[in-house]
């Protein structure tokens, strides 16, 4: 669990703090002067802290009460779109979030801001370009539906908690698990493999660097824009072929791409291109990190991949 030695620092509770996004967010918060704690619980005086399952209603309540957080960033979720257990997606992403909000609302010390991570997947195959927060939701898979349901459920708590919602577009970086698209591509090039099997190549994504995303979260908890909904994105779209071309330049060779029909999802969103104008109006201009720089960072890093859930 990340922490600062100065106990007088404001406390930020980050769920999923040991996952891919959470580790980067914790680092950004600590750099901004926060003391970061996770959703943890001590089982006895001599036992170490243990992670609390979001579906453990009593454990969540106990951990929230003990944390006494000044701010909360809720990142813990099943975030892999192709995850095979739809029921688990809804349980964790909706019911688990409700348990957290209930615990925060009943805690003696209310936080100044609760930031909930939703997803740009809720927009589905929108024809808006760029997509803004006013774009109508049209979720096209269970993950996206679960995140939109989470947003609606959170509205039930907005009279008791200062909630802000983020809708991150695709992002990547060191530590993301290899079953996600870009880490999979980078890993193949790092190993010097000559062939890769991918799914639908006719998709375009607004890819961001996780370090920019983490900075956005750190600034949001300081700004505390309760009631707001914010896209987190780069404002630039890249095709899968663009990513392959950049990696070929970095690694010095081209890889043979085979489309595996088993990897092609009928519910794939074709294009996601976002606007972060509303976000930057609140937190200021965010660093623009080119995707090629992010890919090189990942290619040259020896950091292990993150756990499956973040």
Backbone angles phi, psi at 73, to 5 degrees: -120, 115
Q: What contacts 44, CB < 8 A, 6 or more positions away?
A: none
pLDDT at 77: 93
Cis geometry, peptide bond prior to residue 130 (ω within 30 degrees of 0):
yes
Query: Is the pLDDT at 40 greater than 90, yes or no?
Result: no
pLDDT at 209: 98
User: Minimal CA–CA distance to 73: which of 43, 30, 9?
Assistant: 30
Under 8 Å between Cβ of 102 and 57: yes
More confident residue, 26 or 307: 26
Backbone angles phi, psi at 3, to 5 degrees: -160, 165
Which token pair is 215? 């900075």
By mean pLDDT, which of 48-62, 70-84, 122-136 is the weakest? Answer: 70-84
Residue-wise pLDDT tens digits, 201-248: 888 899 999 999 999 999 999 999 999 999 999 999 999 999 999 999
pLDDT (mean) for 12-18? 95
What's the chain's average pLDDT?
90
Under 8 Å between Cβ of 242 and 55: no
**pTM confidence score:** 0.90
Q: 304: pLDDT confidence band, cut at 50, 70 and 90?
A: very low
Residue-wise pLDDT tens digits, 152-180: 999 999 999 999 999 999 999 999 999 88
pLDDT at 83: 53
Q: Which residues pair with 257 in a beta bridge?
A: 196
Q: What are the chain's domains? A: 11-175+209-235+273-288 (3.40.50.720)
Q: Is 267 helix (H, G, I), strand (E, B) or coil?
A: coil
Q: Which helix H or strand E contains 247, and what residues bound it?
A: helix 240-251
Long-range contacts of 32-35 (CB under 8 A, 24+ apart): 32/218, 32/219, 32/222, 33/4, 33/9, 34/4, 34/9, 34/10, 34/71, 34/218, 34/221, 35/3, 35/4, 35/6, 35/7, 35/9, 35/10, 35/11
Q: Is 251 helix (H, G, I), strand (E, B) or coil?
A: helix
Query: Is the pLDDT at 50 greater than 90, yes or no?
Result: no
């Amino acid at each position: 669990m990340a922490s600062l030695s100065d106990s007088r620092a404001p406390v930020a509770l980050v769920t999923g703090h040991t996952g891919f996004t959470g580790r980067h967010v914790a680092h950004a918060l600590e750099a901004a002067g926060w003391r970061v704690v996770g959703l943890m619980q001590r089982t006895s005086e001599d036992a170490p802290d243990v992670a609390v399952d979001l579906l453990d209603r009593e454990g969540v309540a106990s951990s929230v009460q003990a944390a006494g957080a000044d701010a909360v960033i809720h990142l813990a979720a099943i975030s892999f779109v192709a995850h095979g257990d739809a029921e688990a997606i809804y349980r964790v992403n909706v019911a688990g979030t409700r348990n957290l909000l209930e615990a925060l609302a009943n805690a003696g010390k209310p936080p100044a801001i609760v930031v909930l991570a939703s997803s740009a997947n809720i927009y589905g195959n929108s024809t808006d370009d760029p997509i803004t927060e006013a774009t109508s939701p049209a979720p096209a898979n269970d993950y996206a539906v679960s995140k939109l349901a989470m947003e609606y459920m959170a509205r039930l708590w907005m009279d008791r908690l200062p909630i802000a919602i983020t809708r991150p577009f695709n992002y990547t970086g060191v530590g993301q698990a290899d079953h996600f698209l870009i880490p999979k591509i980078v890993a193949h090039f790092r190993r010097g493999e000559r062939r890769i099997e991918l799914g639908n190549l006719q998709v375009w994504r607004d890819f961001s660097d996780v370090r920019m995303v983490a900075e956005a979260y750190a600034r949001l908890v300081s700004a505390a824009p309760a009631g707001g909904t914010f896209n987190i994105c780069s404002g630039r779209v890249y095709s899968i072929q663009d990513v392959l071309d950049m990696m070929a330049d970095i690694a010095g060779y081209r890889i043979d791409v085979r489309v595996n029909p088993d990897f092609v999802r009928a519910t794939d969103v074709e294009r996601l291109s976002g606007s972060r104008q509303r976000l930057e109006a609140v937190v200021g201009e965010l660093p623009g990190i080119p995707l090629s720089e992010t890919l090189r960072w990942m290619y040259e890093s020896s950091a292990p991949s993150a756990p499956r859930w973040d």
